[in-house]
Amino acid sequence: MPDSTPVSTPVCRADMPILYRVVRRQLIADIRSGVFPPGGMLPNETDLARRFAVSVGTVRRAVTELVADNVLVRQQGRGTFVGRLDRERDMFQFLKIAARNGARGGAREFPDVRLHAFARSRAAPHEAQALALQAGENVYRIENVLSLQGRAVIHDRIVIAMALLPGLDRRMFESRSGTIYGLYQSAFGLTIVGADERLRVDAAAPDSAALLGLAPGAPVLRIERLALTFDRQPVELRVSIVDTREFDYVSNLQPAN
């Protein structure tokens, strides 16, 4: 071998940026741009390796990371697919409220969701800041009431830029088949990959109290969630008011091994 060429020529030479990260970035870009749509199957690993001019092992490393992030799904013998925010296993990545009597870490229950309000509005300053928008930018304001075991337990207030969901209307929102994030993904190509949440105790505002069957001012759990897409870009701001008399917020800190 002459000198520094390993075997085949990689992407570039100077400022060599770690191949498997390049591959991963490109896969993410192709998912975002719709080349690989949600639920779609990726080329097999040998093909991907050829396209990127890297070895199969390097492709596997990139794919493995995206699988760990719930972006891709591998199925042995079938192929690798772009993850969808629809199905059971994805629902509870974001819905952390479960019945108190439920088994520890056990199967959880799907909520009944009722749309309470759908409006167009403008972003308040703190909302604009959190969502990286201009102050006063157009946003949707959506309110939902979620019921578990037949009881209204959660009151959600959602704020999201209209620019991200062009043409969304009340009918479209209500007639969705899966989750809200599933709608963002399937109808607008916007994939939620994570969220930051902050929880505290609050006194129920009159509207929340009425919706949840509580006295105004009753103590409730307040969850402020900033949902993120790739590269931690903020997408949606959501405040959930939860009646925790019979339900808990469940959190798993490293369920390793």
- What torsion, rounded to 10 degrees, do the Cα atoms 58, 60, 64, 66 define? 80
Nearest distance in Å: CB 170, a second copy: 28
12 is a contact residue toward DNA (CB under 7 A): no
249 is a contact residue toward a second copy (CB under 8 A): yes
Binding residue for DNA, selected from 1, 68, 103, 256, defined by CB under 7 A = 1
Distance CA 101, CA 95 (A): 17
Strand partners, 74: 80
Binding residue for DNA, selected from 12, 14, 68, 78, defined by CB under 7 A = 78
Which of 148, 163, 139, 140 lies closest to 110, judged by CA? Answer: 148
CA separation, residue 44 to residues 10, 63, 65, 74 (Å): 20, 11, 16, 11
Nearest distance in Å: CB 124, a second copy: 17
Binding residue for a second copy, selected from 51, 120, 170, 232, defined by CB under 8 A = 232
What is the DSSP code string of 186-225? Answer: HHH-----EEEEEEEEEEPPHHHHHHHT--TT-EEEEEEE
Residue 171 contact partner, candidates DNA, a second copy, none, CB within 5 to 8 A by sort of partner = none
Interface of this chain with a second copy, residues 88 to 107, rule: CB under 8 A: 93-94, 96, 100, 104-105
Nearest distance in Å: CB 15, DNA: 10
Binding site for DNA (CB under 7 A): 1, 4, 6-8, 10, 16, 18-21, 42, 44-47, 53-58, 60-61, 74-80
